[in-house]
A and B are shown apart, each in its own frame.
Chain A
Amino acid sequence: MCFKNLPIEFDAQGNATLKRNVADPYHYVETPAPTPIEDDPERMRQLVERNGGVRRVDFDPVTRVAGALAFHTVVDLDQREVLETASMATLFRGYEVILKGRDPRDAIFISSRACGVCGGVHATCSALAVEMAFDISPPPMGVVARNLLLSVEYLYDNPIHLGLLAGPDFSEPAVRETNPEIWERAERTRAPGRALHGYEFMSQLMTDLTPLTGKIYLECLHMTRVAREAYVLIGGKYPHPQTVVPGGVSTTIDTSDLNEIMMRVVRFFDYGRKVMAIWNDLIDFFYEVNPKYRDVGTRPANMIEPGQWDDPFAYDARFKSADDWGRQRWAPPGVIVDGELVTTSLHMLNAGVEEFVEHSFYEEWTGNGHGNDYYKFPTDPAGNPLSPYHPWNKETIPKPQGTSWKEKYSWSTAPRWDRLAMETGAYSRIWALAQSGDKDWRGSNYIHPTGHSLQIHLPKAELPNDLIEWHIPETWGAFERNRARAHCILYNAAIAYDNLLLAYDLLRKGGPDAKMSTPYKVPKDFRMGVGLWGAGRGYLTHHLEMDKGVIENYQILTPSTWMASPRDPFGNPGPYEEAVAATPLLENYEKPEDFKGIDILRAIRSFDPCMPCTTHIHTDDRTISREIITCACGSEGPHEH
């Protein structure tokens, strides 16, 4: 019984049904959002009386994230706590509207353009939705080629975040400016992982994290190019591959292509070990300096992961058998609530999803605002109940208007699973695999899930070949997100290597299994499909409905939509908002004017925000002010002195 809040129960055979005798099963009464502090003179008076350290800090834009994210906070600098948060996706591009009314064959290459970072994942996810609608599935080699494409994609995706986006927050200039006492300590603290990364003192490591000049930063830039070379060998170009087709890929693969990919993948065996050691040392050092760093960006470990990298012999593109092929993936699907895996079923994962727009710049599509009228799909193709707020029932109706913290303030919707806010990413992938164990799993030559950890055994390169093991952390927060992501480089390399060997084997055996694609015709009757395939940053689904050879509805739900989401109608904040609200301000500032908000930024960036696909124009002329943060200290008014 994985649902606690949705009106879904299970019969003796384990089939999901709607709870009987409930008049409006998905009905809810909206819990109003709290009144923003600046609109509440009484609360503001109390706060300002208590101390003079309350101020509004807005980050617009949040830099070092992909795309347009703005973040509003009210902080109490005396008590070192965050009082109010709001996450804003500031762009809308209308991909879902543009896809409506098109030939379904256009979906793959058009939806790929939703994101300039992970185009390959959108293309593949879209191909999965189209294949389900067309009822075709790729030959094994076609699946293996996609697995290879998207495992080498993460070999640049994860390093980019660690080296270029998150890393600078822990670099010498950032630490010296915000916490000089930590820098002093780093100068006399030896780094335990020297054998892997080569740094004797923590301060040297932090120096090399410095943007544009640091060796770690520059090596990361270089390695992302190596991974992209492997990617374009299969995809043709980056970020939008030109070879993903319905029913497989159009890539022409021979052994020399595989050799070229191999040469690049094996370089990540050592690089992954190095990055893992760097982040283990950084994180453990900060914890040692101040255990409260564990609470930066903390929130309940609620995560959702649709899984990815299909078993080439199990994937048949059918919705009815999705539970079976889903569990056979290299990264099996899973939903984690409070740190525990509650389901590994793709059906339940899909049935639990709802999107709410109470605080987003969209029109409610269910009619009366309660979703209790007739709606298109009360059940999915396998008979599981669906909510009127489910993507298959959703319509994208943009409604641009002014920003109000109490009403609408974001172009991101509020996706929820079982009406809970979920986070997703590299970490949800390894967490779900670690806990699911290898009972139903297809297995890997190099990855071993233990139930509480994930062990990775990779062939030895030049660095010492110690056991690599990621443990499910006790406290979940910003630092642990980065640690998990650092381990994922090796995890991705292991999956790329597994698939590479499989590709050689398929080539060796030849025959129909070694073909790249399956022929198809565009069906003219009504069809629906869904692509469930995680992106580098986690959860991704494309829901498709088509009739008479034309797309009737296309819904893209992306990882950063889940995480950048505004409040839901049940009064709960989105993951960024929740994580920042829980963040202690450990920065060393003497005067409020010196406050840089580094802990808040570390918390936000740990999610690896990627906004282009979250919203899919600017609503007005937003002022892009100071490069790092904007400190519009307006809320304290006359008391600021």
Chain B
Amino acid sequence: MRTWGGIPAAAGNITGSMSLTDFLGKDYRSALGVPVVNVPGCSPLGDNFTETVAAVLLFLQNLAPLPKFDELGRPAWLFEETVHRHCPKAGYYEEGVFAEEPGDNQCLVEIGCWGPVVQCNIVERGAINHVGGCMVAGGACIGCTMPGFPDKYSPFYKSPPGSAISGGLSKVYGGGIRRLRRMSMKTGNREPLWDKTDEVPSGWEGAKDKRAPVDKVNAYFYKKLQYRGSVNHAERNKKQPLPSSRDILRQKGVHAQRSTNVRGERV
């Protein structure tokens, strides 16, 4: 099942192990007339394997289209994308934030993840029943679906050489993108009502009533751009009267420090 020869065929191999493709050669055709089909992985995902078999059987029964295989016999619909494109941590890469040590939640490239250059679908499909997947759980990709595995991806736990350039660039432009996004989030994290009253009625620590002047300026231009050529909800919200039921407990003189239990009895 280690499609490309994998570990038994790695440097130091004394048994003569090799991949099925190497063993059978390019002229091989099965009883159905197809060359070797490779469902790669060390070990391959069970779901990928059964799906490939199912795709072939469905086609043979005239129920489904001809499954597409790539130049190395991989099921193309499963393996044409890099694992990074669907990785839940790829967003960190985009914003230039990287895990510094194992156990950190950010992009794992600097602790040895080869995901951006490896064709695999594990983060999208999960390891079993759509649960898990290497990077989903925090595991760096070591390229086990690739013909170069393991020797072209080791030593493990060391960042791939290419990441020095791509990761470095990502830190620069990603850092800028990240700051712009945090800025947009500042306005998105407030109800229009709060902007109007300069008050956030949250009982939780850290909520800021007033916006900083610079945030106000940013928000002003942001809304200008956002509503241009359409309806300006910022203007409409400004004209909205304050709801009379706002802050109802204080209006009725209920002591905020005293609490009631679920039956409404004073404690």
Contact = CB atoms under 8 A, between A and B. Distances in A.
A237 B103 contact: no
A110 B132 contact: no
Interface stretch (A38-46, A90-98, A165-173): A90-98
B11 A250 contact: no
A113 B41 CA distance: 12
Interface in A237-281: 237-243, 245-252, 260
A102 B102 contact: no
B182 to A, nearest CB: 22
A229 interface: yes
A106 interface: yes
A225 interface: yes
Chain A: number of interface residues, binned into ranges? 35 or more
Nearest to A252: B138
A549 B35 CA distance: 43
Contact of B138 (A110, A236, A515): A236
A234 interface: yes
Given A233-B131, A237-B134, A249 B102 contact: yes
B150 A110 contact: yes
Given A116-B43, A232-B126, A98 B137 contact: no
Given A236-B137, A250-B103, A98 B132 contact: no
Contact of B134 (A236, A245, A249, A519): A236
A103 B12 contact: no
A105 interface: yes
A68 B58 CA distance: 33
Contact of B132 (A93, A232, A239, A248): A232
B103 A251 contact: yes
A100 interface: yes
Contacts of B12: 94, 97-102
Contacts of B15: 92-94, 617
A233 B137 contact: yes
A116 B6 CA distance: 13
A228 B126 CA distance: 12
A73 B132 CA distance: 45
B8 interface: yes
A326 interface: no
A260 B130 CA distance: 13
A238 B158 CA distance: 23
Contacts of B129: 225, 229
B101 A519 contact: yes
Interface in A57-107: 92-95, 97-103, 105-106
Interface string A196-230: 00000000000000000000000000000100110
A518 to B, nearest CB: 9
Contacts, number: 146
Given A229-B129, A252-B105, A93 B17 contact: yes
Max chain B Cβ within 10 angstroms of own Cβ: one of A108, A116, A250: A250
A630 to B, nearest CB: 25
A260 B137 CA distance: 12
A235 B137 contact: yes
Nearest to B9: A98
Max chain B Cβ within 10 angstroms of own Cβ: one of A94, A246, A516: A94
B14 interface: yes
B14 A94 contact: yes
B80 interface: no
Contacts of A235: 132, 137, 139
B136 to A, nearest CB: 7
Contact of A97 (B14, B141, B150): B14
A470 interface: no
Given A99-B12, A236-B135, A109 B17 contact: no
Contact of B14 (A228, A242, A398): A398
Contact of B7 (A98, A260, A516): A98
B42 A517 contact: no
Given A105-B157, A248-B103, A243 B138 contact: yes
Contacts of A245: 102, 157
Interface in B160-179: none
Given A234-B137, A617-B17, 14 more contacts: A93-B15, A101-B12, A102-B11, A103-B154, A113-B2, A113-B42, A232-B132, A232-B137, A233-B131, A236-B136, A237-B134, A252-B105, A398-B14, A517-B102
7 closest cross-chain pairs (CB), A and B: A516-B103, A232-B132, A242-B139, A250-B102, A236-B139, A236-B137, A103-B155
22 contacts: A98-B7, A102-B155, A103-B154, A106-B155, A108-B156, A116-B43, A142-B103, A229-B132, A232-B132, A232-B137, A233-B131, A236-B133, A236-B136, A237-B132, A237-B133, A242-B137, A242-B139, A245-B157, A250-B138, A398-B14, A515-B103, A516-B138
Interface of A: 92-95, 97-103, 105-106, 108-110, 113, 116, 142, 225, 228-229, 231-243, 245-252, 260, 398, 515-517, 519, 617
